[in-house]
């Protein structure tokens, strides 16, 4: 199932805020609508956010009434600015916007050519996302053995990408090769992407999944119930992996129990010129913590912290699985030196 589709000037996507209770497909017709859908997390997950932003710019191009290239570029810049201000942490968003802007700037020919180049680039990025995820799956599947139980955090599946996922691509690929894999999904407070999305999509795929609350991870590891941990990433910087809040806790627990900890992400998630201190960690609405759904669980007026992501230092990471292969920390250091 594709999470996002381009249908002649309309972006169609599944509203992830109402899953798994309702499967609602929504239609987005402007860059503004795409930006709101990203902000409200109707679309979420780093690779999906990137492609969604590219599609947002393609919508601006498709519906533009600009009469000159200059006017068109001004509109595109405005759209880029709106999209850049949606969510600050996943680097894929900025990578995608920059790629579209660079394509537009280097486009030669008529205004029509320019419009077409922007739209084609966005469509190409969506296709590449699927291709990269398939490769991630294929490379990562080699790390899994028949009978393994994989613990994952948040949702790094189809729903976080155009299709197939990153961390869950590894599980899917191993499953498709005939390995009997089981997944333990952390519920992932406060937004519950594990409970709502990972459980939903694995059940749909027929892959066995057991849901736990986040604070059960240590217990299941201590009982020998976890063979490997695989998570996705929102940004991989020189010294760490930025991913959903709670990932760091899982990484430390995995190290304590001698369980391999893998990160699966496309190279569009790599940000090798920055360090973790340079990354803006999104702080979200306190209501996500004080409420579950629409039900208040904390006293009115309590102080709340709600960072949406944390940073796992690289020393806790056994390997990074990307479309190029399985990178050891040494391989990764080499990549950094090349930048």
Q: Which residues are catalytic?
A: 234
Q: Find the part of the chain contacting ligand MRU (CB under 6 A) among 3-11, 158-166, 212-220, 292-300.
A: 158-166
Our CB check for ligand MRU shows the closer of 107 and 161 to be: 161
Phi then psi for residue 4, to 5 deg, are -140, 140
- Burial 211-220, CB ≥16 within 10 A → b, else e: bbebeebbeb
Query: Minimum CB separation from ligand MRU for residue 241, in Å?
Result: 10
44 binds ligand MRU (CB under 6 A): yes
Query: 233 and 144 in contact (C-beta within 8 Å)?
Result: no
Q: Find the part of the chain contacting ligand MRU (CB under 6 A) among 54-62, 97-105, 172-180, 228-236.
A: 228-236
Our CB check for ligand MRU shows the closer of 46 and 54 to be: 46
| Alpha-carbon dihedral 263, 269, 274, 276, rounded to 10 degrees | -40
How far is it, in rounded angstroms, from Cα 247 to Cα 21? 26
Interface pick for ligand MRU out of 86, 107, 166, 198 (rule CB under 6 A)? 166
Query: 234 and 89 in contact (C-beta within 8 Å)?
Result: yes
Pick out residues in 297-336 that bind ligand MRU (CB under 6 A): 308
160 binds ligand MRU (CB under 6 A): yes
244 binds ligand MRU (CB under 6 A): yes
Chain centroid to CA 85: 17
Query: Minimum CB separation from ligand MRU for residue 269, in Å?
Result: 7
Query: 318 and 264 in contact (C-beta within 8 Å)?
Result: no
Q: Find the part of the chain contacting ligand MRU (CB under 6 A) among 69-77, 198-206, 232-240, 312-320.
A: 232-240
Query: 296 and 241 in contact (C-beta within 8 Å)?
Result: no
Query: Minimum CB separation from ligand MRU for residue 196, in Å?
Result: 10
Q: Which of 222, 207, 211 is nearest to 185 (CA)?
A: 211
Query: 307 and 88 in contact (C-beta within 8 Å)?
Result: no
Non-local (6+) Cβ contacts of 97 within 8 A are 53, 54, 57, 80, 83, 84
Q: Find the part of the chain contacting ligand MRU (CB under 6 A) among 2-10, 56-64, 74-82, 159-167.
A: 159-167
38 binds ligand MRU (CB under 6 A): no
42 binds ligand MRU (CB under 6 A): no
Q: How far is CA 110 from CA 69, 71, 104, 269, 294, in A?
A: 8, 13, 12, 33, 51
Interface pick for ligand MRU out of 11, 19, 47, 86 (rule CB under 6 A)? 47
Pick out residues in 173-192 that bind ligand MRU (CB under 6 A): none
232 binds ligand MRU (CB under 6 A): yes
271 binds ligand MRU (CB under 6 A): no
Query: Minimum CB separation from ligand MRU for residue 308, in Å?
Result: 5
Q: Find the part of the chain contacting ligand MRU (CB under 6 A) among 21-29, 78-86, 160-168, 212-220.
A: 160-168
Query: Minimum CB separation from ligand MRU for residue 66, in Å?
Result: 32
45 binds ligand MRU (CB under 6 A): yes
154 binds ligand MRU (CB under 6 A): yes
| Alpha-carbon dihedral 95, 69, 83, 38, rounded to 10 degrees | -100
Chain centroid to CA 25: 19
Query: 143 and 262 in contact (C-beta within 8 Å)?
Result: yes
Instruction: Give the pairing of strands 209-212 and 182-186.
Output: parallel
Contacts with ligand MRU by CB under 6 A lie at 44-47, 90, 154, 156, 160-161, 166, 193, 232-234, 243-244, 308
């Amino acid at each position: 199932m594709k999470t996002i589709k381009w249908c002649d000037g309309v972006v169609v996507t599944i509203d992830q805020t109402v899953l798994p209770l309702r499967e609602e497909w929504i239609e987005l017709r402007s860059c503004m609508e795409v930006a709101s859908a990203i902000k409200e997390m109707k679309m979420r997950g780093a690779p999906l956010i990137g492609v969604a932003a590219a599609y947002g710019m393609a919508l601006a191009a498709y519906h533009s009434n600009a009469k000159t290239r200059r006017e068109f570029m001004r509109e595109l810049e405005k759209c880029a600015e709106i999209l850049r201000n949606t969510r600050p942490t996943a680097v894929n968003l900025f990578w995608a916007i920059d790629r579209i802007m660079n394509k537009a700037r280097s486009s030669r020919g008529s205004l029509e050519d320019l419009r077409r180049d922007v739209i084609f680039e966005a469509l190409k990025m969506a296709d590449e996302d699927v291709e990269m995820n398939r490769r991630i799956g294929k490379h990562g599947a080699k790390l899994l053995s028949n009978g393994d139980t994989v613990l994952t955090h948040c949702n790094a599946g189809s729903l976080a990408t155009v299709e197939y996922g990153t961390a869950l691509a590894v599980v899917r690929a191993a499953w498709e090769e005939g390995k009997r894999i089981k997944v333990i999904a952390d519920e992932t407070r406060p937004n519950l992407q594990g409970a709502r999305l990972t459980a939903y999509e694995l059940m749909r795929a027929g892959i066995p999944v057991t849901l736990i609350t986040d604070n059960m991870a240590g217990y299941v590891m201590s009982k020998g119930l976890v063979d490997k941990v695989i998570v996705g990433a929102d940004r991989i910087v020189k010294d760490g992996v930025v991913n959903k809040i709670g990932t760091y806790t899982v990484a430390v627990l995995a190290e304590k129990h001698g369980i391999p900890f893998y990160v699966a992400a496309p190279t569009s998630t790599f940000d090798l010129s920055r360090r973790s201190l340079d990354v803006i960690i999104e702080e979200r609405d306190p209501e996500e913590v004080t409420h579950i759904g629409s039900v208040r669980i904390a006293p009115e007026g309590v102080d709340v912290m709600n960072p949406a992501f944390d940073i796992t230092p690289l020393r806790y990471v056994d390997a990074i699985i990307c479309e190029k292969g399985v990178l050891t920390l040494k391989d990764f250091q080499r990549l950094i030196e090349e930048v």
